[in-house]
Amino acid sequence: MIPVQGFEGKRVAVLGLGRSGLAAAHALEEGGAEALCWDDSEQGRLRAEGQGLLLHDLTKQGAFENVSALIVSPGIPHLYPAPHPVIALAWAAGVPVDNDIGLFFRSYATNDWNAFDRTPQVIAVTGSNGKSTTSALIHHILQASGRPSQLAGNIGRGVLDIEPAHDGEVIVLELSSYQTELARALTPDVAVWTNLSADHLDRHAGMGGYFNAKRRLFAEGGPERAVIGIDEIEGQFLANQTATAAGEDRVISVSVERKLTSNGWSVFAKKGFLAEWRKGRQVASIDLRGIAGLPGAHNHQNACSAYAACRAVGIGPRQIEAALHTFAGLPHRSQTVAEHCGIRFVNDSKATNVDSAAKALQAFQKVRWICGGLQKEGGLNALLPHLGNVKKAYVIGREAENFARQLSCDTAVCGSMQEAVSQALADAQEGDVVLLAPAAASFDQYDSFEARGDDFVDCVNRVIAE
């Protein structure tokens, strides 16, 4: 655990008692503060009480008397579509609002570091799609290369629940827009921007707010190195704003759409080959085509971003190449779960928006596509140009008929996952890929995208066994 610094002997309120909130409360107390905990749900409050934490009703008048700060969990809205009532009370009382990410960056470095031979570093990864795979891949490369590393944030453990730094360690953080938007301290050594596409627009009041929430990772503290995907205009803008001179190597530009050969530092993938260029010449190349854990152009983008981040902390190209070949991928992200009679079954339940589903569809030929769920704002029009590889779509979800009507390919309305998998297998031929890439949230039928992916895996195993 990382003891929180700066609140010794003070009262600090914690709103939201999920994984990050509970970790924040314990870390505050470990650092000498008094944590005053509250959750809107009785279940959350009981969980906190069971861990010995002090409950304090933050909804009551006067709840913020002698309170030094309010720490808010990521899922709680603090601006759009409307601030949570407790946050409004904190504002009225003049109490600063922060989150566990802000606490981490103010508390991670300690006097113990003076005795280290090599200063610990933090790599923070954000973006719309691929940030989990990119973060896990960076962590995997570091460990395979002999560098101590911990993985935390929006993946793995809460940021305050990790162990204090070791000599030369690299902490890899996956950070969502919910986490970067509110944190008062954001000072990674290396910041990574994968890409940007429409998502969480209600929470950020549109694309501008969404972009600015993620941009704070690069603007608040100023990382020593910035790895920035420039295949969208937002990334191009960010790279230009981050660089201080033409041709400098503070920014490492990443692309999977074009060759980057300027005088700066760049990493790009073209026709399945990753290339690193510096000062106008190629310095390394890796063939990505045979790496089973990283199929498709979207995973090649993840590989480029992870490669660049690891190069920024001193890992050599050959070490990175060896580690890429041993990366198994993450569950629910282009995960091959079975092969049967020449038919491959791929679980990409994390493809919860149109952009990520489009990238999954482009990664495979002859696709039997399982899709549908709680549709997000913007509709499916942006997905239609990417259905060329789809032999047939099998639509699930409570609004399956409406979802199917928006598609321009052959469709079957299935409703349930079991029916979709059964029909897809019955129709499939050798060489086909049965792909779950929903292009929608899971909450109409499942508690999470993980639960949806697990159901897909279970259904595949049952159908194959019949």
> What's the pLDDT tens digit per position in 372-406?
999 887 789 999 999 999 999 999 999 999 999 99
Point out which residues pair with 13 in neighbouring strands.
36, 70
In angstroms, rounded to a whole number, what is the distance separating the alpha carbons of residues 363 and 161? 36
Mean pLDDT, residues 308-314: 98
In angstroms, rounded to a whole number, what is the distance separating the alpha carbons of residues 130 and 125? 10
Output the pLDDT for position 238: 97
Output the pLDDT for position 129: 87
Backbone angles phi, psi at 437, to 5 degrees: -145, 85
Output the pLDDT for position 329: 84
Q: Which residues are annotated as a binding site for ATP?
A: 127-133
Cα torsion for 375, 379, 382, 384, to the nearest 10°? 80
Backbone angles phi, psi at 297, to 5 degrees: -65, -35
Query: At 266, is the pLDDT very low, low, confident or very high (cuts 50, 70, 90)?
Result: very high
What percent of the chain has pLDDT above 90?
Answer: 87
Point out which residues pair with 371 in neighbouring strands.
395
Cβ–Cβ under 8 Å, residues 165 and 150: no
Which stretch of DSSP H or E encloses residue 303?
helix 296-312
Output the pLDDT for position 328: 84
Q: What domains can be seen in the chain, in order of their start residue?
A: 11-98 (3.40.50.720), 103-324 (3.40.1190.10), 335-465 (3.90.190.20)
Q: Which one is predicted more confidently, 288 or 221?
A: 288
Output the pLDDT for position 71: 98
In angstroms, rounded to a whole number, what is the distance separating the alpha carbons of residues 215 and 193? 9
In angstroms, rounded to a whole number, what is the distance separating the alpha carbons of residues 188 and 122? 5
> What would the pLDDT profile of 320-360 be if each residue is shown by its tens digit?
999 999 998 888 988 889 999 999 999 999 999 898 899 89
pLDDT, averaged across the chain: 95
Q: Which residues are annotated as a binding site?
A: 127-133
Query: At 277, is the pLDDT very low, low, confident or very high (cuts 50, 70, 90)?
Result: very high
Q: Which one is predicted more confidently, 297 or 251?
A: 251
b vs e for 276-292, b when ≥16 Cβ sit within 10 Å of the residue's Cβ? bbbeeeeebebebeebe
> What would the pLDDT profile of 165-203 be if each residue is shown by its tens digit?
999 999 999 999 999 999 999 999 999 999 998 778 889
Mean pLDDT, residues 84-113: 96
Cβ–Cβ under 8 Å, residues 177 and 201: no
For the chain, the helix, strand and coil percentages under 3-state DSSP, each to the nearest 5: 35, 20, 40
Let me know the angle formed at the C-alpha of 377 by 125 and 197, rounded to the nearest 5 degrees: 30
pTM score of the predicted model: 0.86
Output the pLDDT for position 464: 94
Q: Which one is predicted more confidently, 130 or 53?
A: 53
Query: At 317, is the pLDDT very low, low, confident or very high (cuts 50, 70, 90)?
Result: very high
User: How many angstroms from the chain centroid is the CA of residue 457?
Assistant: 22
Mean pLDDT, residues 278-288: 95
Output the pLDDT for position 201: 84
Point out which residues pair with 125 in neighbouring strands.
174, 192
